[in-house]
Chains A and B, each alone.
Chain A
Amino acid sequence: MAAEAVRMLDPEVVSRLGALDFVARSLVEGFLVGLHRSPYHGFSVEFAEYRQYLPGESTQNIDWRVYAKSDRHYVKVFHEETNLHARILLDVSASMDATPEPGRISKLHYGKLLAAALSYLLLKQNDAVALATFDDKPQKIVPPRSNRRQLNHLLSVLHHTEAGAKTDVGRVLDRMAEMTWRRGLIVIISDLIDDPDRVLQGLKHFRHRQHEVLVMHVLDPREVDLDIGREAKFVDPEKDLDPIRTQPWHLRESYQQAIGEWRGRLARECRSHQIDYVPLLTDTPFDTALLAYLNKRSRLS
C-alpha cells in the first residue's frame, strides 16, 4: 500500500507542491484558523517552520522580526491553517480512459495523479479531503478526513480505481451536490464529455449550495487539435455513437472550431458563476499544470 502510494505521488511533484500554499478564494466554514480570509482566521494555528519567501507570494506571512534580525525575508509555515473540507470528484468513465494515441497518458491516469497531488497538498494543510469517483453514477466515495492515514487511504482507492462505464456527468454532479451539505471546495476532474447544458447545470448546483468549485477539465491534446495523420476509424469509447471512418485532416479545421466553441462556452459559463475552470491537456506536464494553477490561485488570494 505504502509503495503504491509513493508511486502515485511522484516525489518531485510533491516537493514542488510543498513550496506553495493553497489558498481558498471563498469563505469556508471551519473551526481552524489559517491563512484564509475567514471569520476563523488564526484559529488553532501551530507553527511548523520557517522557509524562505518566494517572490510572488503574499507578504502577509512574512516574519518581519526575523527580517529585522537577519535582513532576509522568511515566511512562517503553520501545520494547521484551516479545516477546509475538500471533495475531489474524479470522472472514471470509459471516455476518460480512452487515448487516441497509444502510449500516451490517459485522461484517467492524469486525473488520478492530479487527485493524489491535491489530496496530499490539502492533507498537508490539515484540510479534510474526500474523494468520489463516478461514471454515470457515483462509484467509490471516501468520506472526508484530515488525518495522515487519509492520504494512504485515498491513494489506495485511486490506485485501484478502474475505468467505469458511460458518462453522465450532469446527473452525477446533480446527485452529488444533493449529497454534499457541508460547504467546501469541490474539485471536479473530468473531460466533461456530456451534454454541456446538463454539465453546467450540475456545476451550478454546487454553486447554488455555496460550494467553491474548481473544474479541472482534462482533455487529450489530440482531442483538441485532432492532429492525427492517418486515416482511422474513430470509435466512441462509451459505445453511444457509431464509429466514424475518416481522414481526420479533412475535418480538423471544423472540428477544432467545434471543440473550441465547446470549451469556450464551458469557460464562460464557469466564469459567470464564479467557478474556476482550468483547462488541462494530458501532454502538459502534470506538475507544471498544477503549479501554474496554484500560482494563479496564490495571486488571486
Chain B
Amino acid sequence: MQFLNPALLFGLVAAGIPILLHFLSRRQVVEVPFAPLRFLQPTQEKQMRRMNLKRLLLLLLRILIIVCVVLAAARPTLTGRLAGLAGAGDGTSVVVLLDDSASMTAEMSEGTMFDRARDEVRRIARAMERGDEIAVLMFSDRTRPLFAEFVRDPGLIAAELGGVEPSARRTDYVGALEDALEWMDKAERPRREIYVVGDFQSTQLDSIALARWRGAAQQVTDTAVFLRPVTPEPFVNRQVDLVPRPSVLLRAGDTVELQTRVTQNGEEPIEAPFFLEADGTTVSETELVLPPRASARHRFPLTLQEPGDVGGSVRLRPDRYALDDESHFVLTVNDQVPVKVLRGVTGEEGARDPLLFLLTALDPERDGTGRFEPTVQLANRFDIEALAGAPVVLGADLRDLGGARLDALNDYVRGGGTMLLFVGDPRVRGYVNERLLPNWTSLRLGAFRGEEDVFERLEIVADDHPIFADLEDDARATLEEVRLRNFFRMDETIGRPLLRFAGGGAAVTEVEVGSGRVIIASFEASATAGDLPFSPMFLPLVQRLTGYLATAGWGRFDRDFEVGDTPVVEVRGAIDSEAQWTVVAPDGMRSAAELDASTRPARLSAPVAEAPGLLRFERDGRSIGTVAVNVARSESRRVWWSPELFRDRFEPEEGVRFTNLSGGSTDEAVQAARRGRPIHLWFLIAAGLLLVAESLLSRRVGPAPAV
C-alpha cells in the first residue's frame, strides 16, 4: 500500500488523543462525598466491570476512527499484487526504457549510473501488479530488448538484468521512444505505460525525427510516458576531445603536430598527465594544466615513418567517466597523389592564367616532388579512360567539354570520384550553369561581381569542416583578410557552403553527387580574382581542398567512427575473390569483414563497433587500413535535461502524456504514476461504520466524561 500524501500520515499522532483523553479523564475525577454510599456499592462492581469493557471498546473505536480518517486523507492506494488481488482491472502493459548509453558508465560512489538505473528498473518491475506484463528495452542509439516478448514475472526481469552492461553508444531518445511505442503493438493489456529510466543526458535532437515522433505519439491515446531520472553525483570530468585529422596530405617523413584539447568541468585547476600513443607505443608525455571549467590545448609532435595508416591515441588517466579520457585517431600517410587537372578553354595566359597559381600550389617546386602530382590536359581533349583511377580532378573555367567527356566526367563523379572546380570567368557561366552543374546539383552560379575596384572579403562558414577544423586562428584571420573580385555569388542554402563572401553568397560550396563529391569555387585562382593567389593561405587552401577530396579518409569513407557505427574502409585495386577479409578489434579479436564489391571502389565493413579503439582491416593477414572508433563526445556534456525539459521537447500536443516521476522512492513513483488502486474510500466507509458503532456504544456507555 502506498500513499499519495504520505506527509499526512503524521496525523496518526492524533490517534493518541482519545488515549490521552481517556487517561486524563481518569486522572481528573472529582471526589463526591456521598452519604448513601452503601446503596451504591452493590451495583457498582458488576456494572463497572461491564462498562470498563465498553469504555475500552469505545476507546478502540475512537482510535480506529481517527486512524481511518487520517489514512483516508493520506490517499492510500494499493499497488503491486495486492492491487491485483483487489481487482485493479485488467492489468497494464509496461515498457521500461533503460538508458545504457555511454554516459551511464560514469562511476558513482556505489556502482555506476547504469547500476543505479538497473536497480531502479528492478524496483519498477517489482512494483508491477498481478496481471501486468513488462518489457525492458535498453536504449542508446539503438534499443535492445531484454526479452523478445512481454513477460509477466518480475523475477525474470530482475535476474536477466544482472547480466547486462551499458554500451559506449550515444543516446537517441527519439529512436527509443519510437521503439517503445512500437513494442506496444504487442501489448495485450488495456493500459500502456512507458517508463524512461536514465540520466537524461542532453543530446542533439534531429528535428525531423522529433517531428516524426510527435506525429506518431499524438495519435496514441492509451499510452502514458513516465520519466524517472537517475540523479548523477557531481564530479570533475576531464575529457579528451577528438583529435582532428591534419587537413593536409601527409607523407612519410613528415612530422605532424597533433592538436589535442582537454577540457574539465571542475572549479579548480588540475594538473593532469597526458600521453600520446602511436602504434601501441607511448611516444610522448606531458603534464597538462587544466584551468577551471575550461580547455587546455597541447600539440603532440608525431613523425610519420612510412605510407599507410598510423593508429594512435591520446589519453588521460581515467576519471569517473573513463570513456572520454582517451581519443583514438588514424593518420593516413600517403604516397604522392596524382591530380588530373583540366584546363578550360578561356585562353588566358600569364598571371591571368587560372592554372598558373593552382599548379604552383599543388607542386610548389614544380619539380614533381610535391605532395601532389598534377597532370594537365585540355578540357575538351582529356583522356576519358584516365579519369577512372584519378583520386581527384581539378577543373578551371571548364567550357565546351563535348558530350562524351561531359558524360564521362559525370560518371566519374557519380561513381565516387571527386572534383575541385574553379569558375570565375563570366564567359563560362552559361555553360557551367546549363550543362555542367545541372548534372550534379541545383546550385548555380549567381550574380557576377566584376567591378575592377570592388573587393570583397571571404568568411569561413564551416568551422568544423575537416578542411578548417585544425586551422589556427592566425591562419583563419589571414584567410578572411583575402579580398576577391570577379566572382559569382552562389546560393548559400544549397550544398554545404565552406566559404562565403562578406557581402553575401557562397564562395566555396561542397556538394555530394552520387558516391562522389564536388567542391565549387565561384572565383578564379588567378590574379584577376584579387589578392587570393598572393595570400599565404592560398597554398594551404588549395592543398587542403585537394587533399580532402583526394584522400578517401576525408571523404565519405572517413577513418573516424563512433561506437555504434559500422566501420568501413575502401579497397582500391583489383578484388581477389579468394582473399580473406578480416577485421581486428581493439582487444585483438579477429572477425570476418564483409566485402561489398558492387561499389567502386569496393567497401569492406566490420561488424558494428561496440567499443572505442582502433580497428584494423586486413586482407590475407596484411593491413589494408585502420579506423579509429571513439565514443561520442556528446555523452561527455555532463548536462542533463530536467524531466520538465524532456517533456517539453518530446511530449506531443495531444496523445501520449509525459509525467515526471522524479523524487521519492520507486514504489512511490510507480504508485504515483499509476495512482494505484485508490482505497481511501474504503477507509472513509470504515470510519463511517466505526462512527456509527461508536455512537451506539457511547449512548450505552453514557455521555463522554468531561475533561
Contact = CB atoms under 8 A, between A and B. Distances in A.
A237 B706 CA distance: 24
A201 B590 CA distance: 127
Interface residues of A, number: 37
A262 B42 CA distance: 14
B40 A255 contact: yes
A223 B47 contact: no
A250 B702 CA distance: 7
A8 B19 CA distance: 51
Contact of A231 (B39, B47, B705): B705
A262 B35 CA distance: 14
B33 A99 contact: yes
Contact of A244 (B40, B51, B705): B40
Contacts of B39: 255, 258-259, 262
Can you list the 5 inter-chain pairs with the closest CB atoms, starting with the nearest? Answer: A98-B33, A95-B35, A254-B43, A234-B34, A249-B702
B32 interface: yes
A204 B611 CA distance: 121
Most A CB contacts (10 A, CB to CB) among B35, B39, B41, B703 go to B35
B589 interface: no
24 contacts: A96-B35, A100-B32, A223-B35, A229-B703, A230-B705, A231-B705, A233-B30, A233-B31, A234-B37, A234-B40, A235-B32, A235-B33, A236-B33, A236-B34, A237-B33, A237-B35, A238-B35, A241-B41, A246-B48, A247-B701, A249-B702, A254-B47, A255-B40, A262-B39
B13 interface: no
Contacts of B41: 241, 244
Interface in A206-232: 219-220, 223, 226, 228-232
Given A193-B36, A259-B36, A230 B43 contact: no
A245 B43 CA distance: 12
Given A193-B38, A223-B36, A232 B43 contact: no
Given A247-B51, A249-B702, A232 B31 contact: yes
B44 interface: yes
Nearest to A259: B39
A251 B44 contact: yes
Most A CB contacts (10 A, CB to CB) among B37, B38, B702, B705 go to B37
A228 B47 contact: no
Interface in B254-301: none
B159 interface: no
B25 interface: yes
Contact of A234 (B32, B42, B43, B703): B32
Given A251-B43, A255-B43, A232 B35 contact: no
A96 B44 CA distance: 23
Contacts of B574: none
Interface of A: 95-96, 98-100, 107, 191, 193, 219-220, 223, 226, 228-238, 241, 243-247, 249-251, 254-255, 258-259, 262
B701 to A, nearest CB: 8
B29 interface: yes
Contacts of A230: 29-30, 705-706
Contacts of A231: 25-26, 29, 705
A105 to B, nearest CB: 14
Interface residues of B, number: 26
A233 B32 CA distance: 6
A251 B43 CA distance: 7
Nearest to B705: A231
B40 A235 contact: no
A231 B703 CA distance: 10
Contacts of B48: 246-247, 250
Most A CB contacts (10 A, CB to CB) among B29, B33, B703 go to B33
Nearest to A241: B37
A250 to B, nearest CB: 5
B51 to A, nearest CB: 5
Nearest to A261: B39
A236 B34 CA distance: 6
A103 B26 CA distance: 24
A7 to B, nearest CB: 25
Contact of A100 (B33, B47, B703, B705): B33
A236 B35 CA distance: 6
Contacts of B32: 100, 228, 232-235
Given A234-B32, A235-B34, A247-B702, 7 more contacts: A100-B32, A234-B34, A246-B44, A254-B43, A255-B43, A258-B39, A258-B42
Most A CB contacts (10 A, CB to CB) among B31, B36, B38, B48 go to B36
Contacts of B43: 251, 254-255, 258
Interface string B40-75: 111110011001000000000000000000000000
B31 A251 contact: no
A95 B33 CA distance: 8
A99 B47 CA distance: 24
Nearest to A220: B35
Interface string B675-707: 000000000000000000000000001110110
A107 B51 CA distance: 32
A242 to B, nearest CB: 8
A228 B235 CA distance: 75
A240 to B, nearest CB: 8
A233 B702 CA distance: 17
Nearest to A237: B33
Nearest to A242: B41
Most B CB contacts (10 A, CB to CB) among A98, A100, A234, A249 go to A234
Contact of B29 (A100, A223, A233, A258): A233
Contacts of B35: 95-96, 98, 107, 191, 193, 220, 223, 236-238
B44 to A, nearest CB: 5
A262 B40 CA distance: 12
A98 B31 CA distance: 12
A156 B440 CA distance: 141
A107 B29 CA distance: 24
B38 A98 contact: no
Contacts of A244: 37, 40-41, 44
